[in-house]
Amino acid sequence: MHYRLSHQAPGPEEDGTTTSLDRIVNNNEVFPADVFKRPQNYGLQNEDTLKTARETQGNPDAMVRIWRAVPEGVTTINPGDWVALSKEYATAESYAEGGHVIYAAARAGDLWSEGLLEEWGYQGTIPLEASSESQGRHKVLESFPTATSERSPVSGNQSAITRTNTVQAKTPELGY
């Protein structure tokens, strides 16, 4: 996978530094006992992640929707890939990376963490064929007006971001 970076997704480690999704409450080495009482201390950003984590405890065969930000053209989630339990987290990653989001279903026992609720490693035995979120994202992005940079009529040398049918520049007549 040429799109992977050197930092590899977590998997089962004999030294106890990782845990599977279904064993969060049974592994105090990775997630202390207060993980569900104070999830923000463990990187929680999205409620979907917390809901999924709670629902899978004790059930390694529970099927979980996983999300991944990938470059255009990638259609599988492979063993060793970083994944998220929330669409929102993966979407934010895709914006930062310039890619799109794909999703698939995986067993809770195949998802491993080093102690951050939002970041998991998929460690199943086979690649997962994924569905893409990119088509919907492109339609939304296409609906936004295009911004252009122009000289401000007020000062003559400041750039102003403008678009049709919006406030074009700061003007003294309008008080700003």
Provide DSSP, 18-73. -EEGGGGGG-TTTS-TTTTTSGGGGT---HHHHHHHHHTTT-TT-EEEEEEEE-TT
The answer to whether residue 151 is domain-embedded is yes
The answer to whether residue 13 is domain-embedded is no
Q: What is the pLDDT of residues 142-160, one digit of tens each?
A: 444 444 334 434 444 443 3
- Give the residue numbers spanning the domain of 164: 145-174
Q: Which two three-digit tokens encode residue 51?
A: 């809901």
The answer to whether residue 58 is domain-embedded is yes
Question: For a pLDDT cut of 70, what percent of the chain falls above it?
Answer: 70
Q: How many residues does the chain have?
A: 176
Same domain, yes or no: 99 and 120: yes
Q: CA-CA distances (angstroms) from residue 22 to 19, 37, 108, 161?
A: 8, 17, 6, 49
Specify the amino acid at residue 73: G
Global pTM value: 0.72
Quote the number of domains for the chain: 2
Say how many Å lie between the first and final Cα of the chain, rounded. 52
Same domain, yes or no: 160 and 108: no
